[in-house]
Chains A and B, each alone.
Chain A
Amino acid sequence: QSALTQPASVSGSPGQSITISCTGASSDIGAYKYVSWYQQHPGIAPKLIIYEVTNRPSGVSNRFSGSKSGNTASLTISGLQAEDEADYYCSSYIGGNTLGFGGGTKLTVL
């Protein structure tokens, strides 16, 4: 149902910045401001890190930032730390009382 596309994996060295893309369509990411990002460590429930494209919940590091251009949303993590190694998922409201997730991106900190 969801056609949000993320890269399967990205990697970076400590201190570097990485960006994870989430590509949708004009009917989902391109149409709504409700794009969010989640971090999931193994065996633990996901955690919201970005909501409404660019906003960070209280307590989330300012090293995490979000943006959107057209039908593609992006998550940037700056100053990579070992603890950032996790799976990351984008999500968007896609209309008709439905939401969707991207397939997830595994971040490896080298």
Chain B
Amino acid sequence: EVQLAESGGGFVQPGRSLRLSCAASGFIFDDYAMHWVRQAPGKGLEWVSSISWNSGNIGYADSVKGRFTISRDNAKNSLYLQMNSLRGEDTAVYYCAKDSGPAMAEFDFWGQGTLVTVSS
């Protein structure tokens, strides 16, 4: 059974940093691209960042480019999102999602999400 478990969310002041983690199990992690998607309170889904199976291809939404860094450790079956210079508009539930293949196509399994609140 595919399982994705996000952690690392919490309350943080504007300008500070936070690192999210996603522990994956139930599938061969290094066969698949992975993604971060967020959802602000009461709002729609927003794609944040994606990374291919071997980290060779990485993409970011314009809203986070230069501030967020996605990475993965295939030996640890883990996905990460380093978030720097956080802003109030980064407040959201952050979901880790698995792709259906090694490149970037769609999100076939989702974690339950971790809430990040940016406020002074």
| A and B from one complex | yes
A interface residues, Cβ below 8 angstroms from B: 1-2, 34, 36, 38, 40, 45-48, 51-52, 57, 87, 89, 91, 93, 96-104
Known: A46-B45, A100-B47, A101-B46. A91 touches B61 (CB 8 A): no
With CB as the reference atom, state the residue of chain B lying closest to A105.
Answer: B44
With a cutoff of 8 Å between Cβ atoms, the chain A residues found around residue B57 in the complex are 97
**Size of the chain B interface, CB-CB below 8 angstroms:** 27
Q: B81-120: contact bitstring with A at CB < 8 Å (1 yes, 0 no)?
A: 0000000000000010000100011111111110000000
With a cutoff of 8 Å between Cβ atoms, the chain B residues found around residue A96 in the complex are 59
Report if B62 contacts A (CB, 8 A).
yes
Contact count A vs B, C-beta below 8 Å? 72
With CB as the reference atom, state the residue of chain A lying closest to B44.
Answer: A104
In the bound complex, how far is the Cα of B100 from the Cα of A93, in angstroms? 13
With CB as the reference atom, state the residue of chain B lying closest to A92.
Answer: B106
With a cutoff of 8 Å between Cβ atoms, the chain A residues found around residue B113 in the complex are 45
**Contact pick for A51, options B37, B100, B110, CB 8 Å:** B100
A1→B62 contact, CB < 8 A: yes
For window 37-78 of B, CB contacts with A under 8 Å fall at: 37, 44-47, 50, 52, 57-63
